[in-house]
Amino acid sequence: MDDYLQRLRHTTAHILAMAVLRLWPDTKLGIGPVIEDGFYYDFEFAVPITHEDLEKIEDEMKKIIEEDLPVRQIFMDKKEAMKFYRKWDQPYKRELLKEIDDEKVSFYVIGDEEKGFVDLCKGPHLTRTGEVVAFKLLSIAGAYWRGDEKNPMLTRIYGTAFMSQEELEEFLKQREESKKRDHRVLNKRLKYYFIDPDIIGSGIAVFLPRGAYVREQLEHWIVEKYKALGHHLVYTPHIAKDKLWYTSGHLPYYEENMFPKMKVNDEEVYYLKAMNCPLHIQIYKQMVQSYRDLPFRVTDMATVYRYEKAGELHGLTRVRALTQDDGHIFLAEEMIEEELVRLLELAFDVYKTFEFKDLTVDVSLRSNDKKDKYLGDDSVWEKAEEMLINAVRQSGVSYNLMEGEAAFYGPKLDFHLKDSLGRRWQVATIQLDFNLPQRFNLTYTDKDGSKKTPVMIHRAIFGTFHRFMALLIEHFAGNLPLWLEYEKVRIIPVSEKHSQYAFQVKEVLESEGIRLVTVDDKDEPLANRIRRAEEEKIPYVVVVGDKEVNTSTVAVRVRSHGDVGLYNIEEFIGRLKEEILRKMNRSIFLQ
């Protein structure tokens, strides 16, 4: 993000907090950081506010901006700062102060120190409030203080700011389109899945036939990709004994994200698996003996279970039961570079199929300040990080170094892409791991007869099927490519006398492998039935009446484009097959 834009948004967040205190002086302040598309600020209101109050807050913010107040940095002794926040009864700010080690603490002041707004902040900011020219408050939501469900629920106000009114209006326009494409909104009409928090559980999606078909096709397609690269398909159980998770390091390092233990008897304790890697390691032990067996690659369309916080669950993009195109590659150190290149090429090929562009990669590194949070010694981490960075450089893709974002067992590559609206999504993960093979005492016999420890690559190109499906639904606005659509053709007879021909066409299509084909011969006006098919985003609607019966043809309507003319049945089938085979993202009838 541009430095000026970041300062602009940070300053606007402070103006928001100042406006809130002017309107509701007894409000308690949380934090107000800049985020990718704007900013937010967390508040504890004495009386809850609603979305309708945002306009009132915006009006007060505009007054602060029109006053063109100075914004400046000051420093206080930590003890003085504590007294300041006791005086103003700001418990959340005092909690933040306790975690600061410095004796001098940075604050930013808007206006006068006595009558203006003073906030604990490192900055940077603009120099005057009048520099803010285009902003908008977007929404309110609940958010636990510090993201912990044990803490109080605060009110989070989201907003954004831009350097011009034109940029803001373009953003708001895109945001409205995003709301229409939201997979949760489209799902109400198209019925891919459902989540029942009361009976089944929050964050646990059940796929309905339409969604199940999408997932089935994605699974089959990616498995064939993996097999072509020498990956073996395996299946692993959903639970395993605690010993496995202690050895892997998940219980000491990842337990807060795992579901509670299941005690079977006095001696045996099991956990739902949060990751597949420890089980794939056990497969390695059964299959690999010599260097000749390497690289040993396994792939597993496996469901794992992670206890995501309730406030972070979001449709299919953040769930507690998630299925991954997960896989692991065990190999000798000298094989790493070539294997990473193959995986990067695979990822680029996969995303190209769905017409995703602007791919970037975050190289997630260990935090140098918190090394105790990670397995392994410095030399191993330095080697692994250097290998990943070199592989990305060779690929030519744009990348960022992200300190502190590595997994506890190794550095990783996190792939991000932009959808048709320019929004950024995280997809693939490729992790390089020297540590777990050592913890599990994995070995192979090398050419000279010595025992060596393999290296392990963790990879998932889709990431999770849940999240990737949500991405596809929003990217295509529900108009998925034909090969992913459950119901491909709906035949609509003009009247009852054309129904027999409609069912004959259906039988011919199905005999040629085109599925699912349905006939809508309900006793309703033709226009109503066509409209319903369009609302349900059926790719092809075939209308048959007297002309079609007499000429053995079909009148074809293409989703979102309408009537494209008459086709004989053989030509129609041929074009459908070609579109499915070529994995096209646009109707072949519009080429």
User: Is 234 within 8 Å of 298 (Cβ atoms)?
Assistant: yes
CA torsion, points 207, 211, 212, 218, in degrees to nearest 10?
A: -130
How many CA atoms does the CB half-sphere of 363 hold within 13 Å? 17
Q: How many CB atoms lie within 10 A of CB 236?
A: 18
Exposure class string for 504-539: b at 16+ Cβ within 10 A, else e: ebbeebeeeebebbebbbeeeeeeebbebbeebbbb
* Residue 182 is among the residues annotated as catalytic for this protein: no
Burial group, residue 80, by CB count within 10 angstroms (0-12, 13-18, 19+): exposed
Q: 318, 324, 414, 520: which one is catalytic?
A: 324
> What's the gap between Cα 354 and its chain centre?
16
- Residues 6+ away with beta carbon under 8 Å from 518: 487, 489, 490, 491, 506
Helix (H, G, I), strand (E, B) or coil at 443: coil
DSSP string, 49-76: --TTHHHHHHHHHHHHHHTT-BEEEEEE
Burial group, residue 16, by CB count within 10 angstroms (0-12, 13-18, 19+): buried
Burial group, residue 1, by CB count within 10 angstroms (0-12, 13-18, 19+): exposed
> What's the gap between Cα 50 and its chain centre?
28
CA torsion, points 565, 569, 575, 578, in degrees to nearest 10?
A: 170
* Residue 277 is among the residues annotated as catalytic for this protein: yes
Q: 280, 306, 498, 506: which one is catalytic?
A: 306
Bridging pattern class, strands 262-263 and 71-77: unpaired
* Residue 121 is among the residues annotated as catalytic for this protein: no
* Residue 326 is among the residues annotated as catalytic for this protein: yes
- Residues 6+ away with beta carbon under 8 Å from 345: 395
CA torsion, points 446, 449, 451, 457, in degrees to nearest 10?
A: 10
Angle between helical axes of 165-181 and 183-190 (0-180°, round to 10): 30
Helix (H, G, I), strand (E, B) or coil at 507: helix
* Residue 314 is among the residues annotated as catalytic for this protein: no
Q: 181, 183, 277, 537: which one is catalytic?
A: 277
User: Is 144 within 8 Å of 44 (Cβ atoms)?
Assistant: no
User: Is 274 within 8 Å of 305 (Cβ atoms)?
Assistant: yes
Q: Given CA atoms 342, 343, 348, 354 in this order, what sign does their dihedral have?
A: positive
- State the Cα–Cα distance between residues 316 and 322, nearest whole angstrom: 9
- Of 460, 461, 526, whose CA–CA distance to 493 is shortest? 526
Q: 326, 362, 414, 419: which one is catalytic?
A: 326
How many Å is the maximal CA-CA distance in the chain?
92
- Residues 6+ away with beta carbon under 8 Å from 127: 70, 71, 72
* Residue 306 is among the residues annotated as catalytic for this protein: yes
Task: Give backbone dihedrals phi and psi of 309, rounded to 5 degrees, phi first.
Answer: -65, 145
* Residue 324 is among the residues annotated as catalytic for this protein: yes
Helix (H, G, I), strand (E, B) or coil at 515: coil
- Of 353, 320, 319, 316, whose CA–CA distance to 470 is shortest? 316
- State the Cα–Cα distance between residues 168 and 48, nearest whole angstrom: 28
| Residue numbers annotated as active site | 277, 306, 324, 326, 328, 412, 458
